[in-house]
Structure 1
Amino acid sequence: MRRRIISLCAGVLAALLCASTVSAAPVDDQFRTWLANDLWPEARAKGISKKTFDAAFAGVKPNLKLPDLVMPGQKPKTPKTQHQAEFGAPGAYFAEKTVGGVTAGGRARAATHARTLAAVEQRFGVPGPVVLAIWGRESGFGAARMPYDAFEVLGTKAFMATRKDMFRKEVLAALAMVERGAVSRGAMKSSWAGALGQPQFLPSSFLEHAVDMDGDGRADIWNSVPDTLGSIANYLVHHGWQKGRDWGFEVVVPDDVSCALEGPDIGRPISQWAAMGIRRVSGKPFPAHEARAGGFLLMPAGRNGPAFIVTPNFYVLKDYNMSDLYALFIGHAADRIAYGDKGFAGRWGPVDKLYRSDIAGLQRALENRGYDVGGADGLPGFKTRRSIGHWQAKNGRAATCFPDAGLVRALK
């Protein structure tokens, strides 16, 4: 066996492959040094005991299978693919099996937890269907398994992720949770992204937003449905939820209204959008109280999918996951829980399959031409979509406001 390993490493390429297989041990050593000399001093300064710290990281090694990691000594690269569903083809995110599961489960639980949901809405002003939709999407109403050790995930990402500073904050918050007795070390199981419990809170969100809704003296987002529902609503309130307003409305956008008018920084009274010819797909007028208030154009697939006029509450929902598609899923599922099953009127058209690195290259090309794409991260957010629309119109093309293979080639 030893002779075979040596022979495999004979060539230059094989030598590089072998070097990568033995790099785990040095990384483990660097991780332990980082824990002792870097993270521990800050944790101690924040009131974390040595006992808690040592218990949290006993036997923990970096998990090199997690996404978005940067090996020590290397520079970050834009990944070709994206692990989160929120960053895939827009239409695929709304597969009926997924949406239907959340809406059917939400309706069933609306009756089971009617008193709790009423109490949550009275206390926080967030409608029950919205809370149910988030609960269902995040953890399958508490049924989803959390297979990862939270300190392994958060420690690895704080040590070597592309967003180390963010995860450093989160691993320190996780230590604070255990130190304060909010949860035992053994119960700290998470998703691959380090999210906890039925609402899938990051540790800092638990510390800031978790509430005791069942009156037992502790906020338990792992086992208590009332605490889970109340904590979700509290999160939304803390992020600016406006009581009495909807999240948004599916609309028809006339061809002479530019898709490049999209974005939360281009708001106007909803009555003005209506005056431009934008109308609800239902044929009903916008509610009077909404028409007087501000709204924003949302076209998450550009001209290749449904369009919406959304309220500030949409962007509160987006804060939960930082994805337009996620916020739209929650709003749409909440409507179906409240009013019955009815899909989007607009169809999600086909989009070209592009690597995340392709979109990042497109974004850099647009930046070089003076457009604000919101950063070359490979994710087609609203600034990228409207920059595409502006470039297309300027160059005599039909504005679609969405990346495609031809656009990638044209902007190289």
Structure 2
Amino acid sequence: MRFAAWLARFRTTALAAGITEATLREALDPARLQPRSIELDRSQPEFTRAIWDYLDRAVSPTRVSTGQARLAEVRPEADRASARYGVPAPVLAAIWGMESNYGSHYGDVPVIDALATLAFEGRRAAWAQGELLAALRIVQQGDIDRAHMIGSWAGAMGQTQFMPSAFLARAVDADGDGRRDIWRSMPDVLASTAHFLQEAGWVPGEACAPELRLPEGFDPARADPGLRQHSAQWADEGLRLADGRALPTMAEASVLQPAGLRGPAFLVGRNFRAVLRYNNATSYGLGVCLLAQQIDGGAPVQAAWPRDQRPLNRSEVKALQSALNDQGFPTGQADGLLGPATRAALRDYQRSVGLPADGFATVEVLMRLRP
């Protein structure tokens, strides 16, 4: 009953925002509460996956070979999208693979139901309500009907998982049928994804995340996303590609060591950050770049991951943040998330005690911080 009452109130908001009565009858009135969406939205997993475990699955040999085969099937459409927007076809295939395993699973939840549930539930009400209005506009414009607008529990839609607001801003009718269909039209899927990345700042011809060979004595504190310089400057410091070749031309590039001093290093610039606009997680960005590289015939990561290290769980990260705060290295709120502020504080602490300042949170550094 409470959900029905909320829907009735939201109808007034939607009408005032330009959604027609006919669209509301078709798309909003049949909405049903999705308890699973609430459950997943509220869940905060205690244990986190190490980046190497994530990449083992994201860039598995099966996903690479499937990506090569699937890209071959849609190569004309991918090449047209690439030519129009400047994003290489293997990158489009990689996002397709990461988001829906090349279209094999992009969710089965009615998008309007999922977003109405999250707007009603209240934790992210303003965001969900905005996305719900966007979803209703998509139906009203005729791009897709309610029955076929399915996606994830959080409302991400189609084969490359656009939120409705991103769809309105970036989706493309590449097959010329008058509709933008990222569920069933591969020309639309690939062109929409390429358009998104172009608008996010993708630079044609620039590398995504090439693996590095660092010089002896490289200061790990310089592997900081806030430190950006031209690849020529990095080359002057002795950095090379993992295979010994010279660095490609990249502007505003940073060194990324996602597993700290003992793990691989990558040079990331504007294209890596464009991928992060799609999903703002370092593991996701690396997954896309490395999967694209291997779909295109490139090598896998050469350096070894420190697989003997266990990532901190959320409780341990909170303890780490609290200890850093207590010792005068501010991280902000102890929320259990290893964001830039926490990594910067950890680097400062590491410097203060003579440790390599790589900002990588380990059980050992937590034990050292604890009284």
Q: State TM-score, norm by structure 1.
A: 0.81
SS of 2:253's equivalent in the other structure is strand
Aligned partner of 1:47 in structure 2 is 18
Q: Among residues 108, 128, 143, which one is paired with 1:147 in the alignment?
A: 108
1:103-122 equivalences under 5 Å are 103-122=64-83
| CA distance in 1 between partners of 2:215 and 2:331 (Å) | 25
2:203 counterpart letter in structure 1: Q
Shift of residue 241 of structure 1? 0.9
Distance in 1 (alpha carbons) for counterparts of 2:115 and 2:354: 48
**What's 1:394 paired with?**
352
Q: Following the alignment from structure 2 to structure 1, what is the Cα–Cα distance between the partners of residues 78 and 311? A: 41
In the alignment, structure 1 residue 407 sits paired with structure 2 residue 365: yes
Deviation of residue 68 (structure 1)? 5.5
Structure 1: distance between partners of 2:232 and 2:294: 25
In the alignment, the residues of structure 2 paired with residue 103 and residue 363 of structure 1 have an alpha-carbon distance, to the nearest angstrom, of 38
Aligned residues: 368
Q: Does the 8 Å CA contact 2:259/2:360 hold for their aligned counterparts?
A: yes
**Distance in 1 separating the partners of 2:322 and 2:114:** 31
Distance 1:250 1:97 in 2: 17
SS of residue paired to 1:339: coil
Q: For each residue in 1:29-55, what CA deviation from the matched residue of structure 2 results, as whole angstroms up to 9, or x when unmatched?
A: 443333333x33332221112443354
Q: What is the distance in 2 between the residues matched to 1:302 and 1:400?
A: 5
Once structures 1 and 2 are overlaid, which stretch shifts more, 171-180 or 309-318?
171-180
Match status 1:347 vs 2:304: yes
Structure 1 residues 57-136: aligned runs within 5 Å = 57-58=29-30, 60-63=32-35, 66-67=38-39, 69=41, 79-81=44-46, 88-95=49-56, 98-136=59-97
- Secondary structure at the aligned position of 1:389 is classed as helix
| Counterpart in the other structure of 1:313 | 271
**Partner of residue 267, structure 1:** 228
Render the CA deviation track for 1:230-266: whole Å, top value 9, x for unaligned.
0100000111111221113111334633333334431
Asked whether the 8 Å contact 2:239–2:247 carries over to 1, the reply is no
1:344 to partner: Cα distance: 0.5
- The aligned residue for residue 125 of structure 2 is 164
Q: What is the letter of the counterpart of residue 265 of structure 1?
A: G
Tell me, what secondary structure is at the counterpart of 2:24? Answer: helix
**Equivalents in 2 of 1:50, 1:406: separation in Å?**
61
Q: Verify the 8 A CA contact 1:141 1:198 in the aligned structure 2.
A: yes
Contact 2:99 2:106 in 1 (8 A): no
Note if contact 1:356-1:378 (Cα within 8 Å) is conserved in structure 2: yes
Q: Hey, what's the Cα distance between the residues in 2 that align with 1:328 and 1:395?
A: 31
| Alignment of structure 1 residues 141-290 onto 2, 5 Å | 141-160=102-121, 162-254=123-215, 256-287=217-248, 289-290=249-250
In structure 2, distance between residues paired with 1:127 and 1:352: 35
Of the two, which has the highest radius of gyration? Answer: 1
Paired letter, 2:135: A
Distance 2:59 2:364 in 1: 31
Question: Using the alignment, how far apart are the partners of 1:140 and 1:314 within structure 2?
Answer: 21
Residues 147 and 191 in structure 1, CA contact (< 8 A), matched pair in contact too: yes
Q: Distance in 1 between matches of 2:332 and 2:178?
A: 43
RMSD: 2.5
Contact 2:54 2:283 in 1 (8 A): yes
For 1:44 and 1:97, how far apart are their aligned partners in 2? 42
In structure 2, do the counterparts of structure 1 residues 177 and 364 end up closer, same or farther at CA, with 3 Å as the change threshold? farther
After the TM superposition, which residues 1-40 of structure 1 pair with which residues of structure 2 at under 5 Å, given as runs?
29-37=1-9, 39-40=10-11
What SS does the aligned partner of 1:200 have?
coil
Give 5+ residue unaligned stretches, structure 2: none
Is the CA contact (8 Å cut-off) linking 2:106 and 2:161 kept in structure 1? no
Tell me if structure 1 keeps the 8 A contact 2:144–2:179.
Answer: no
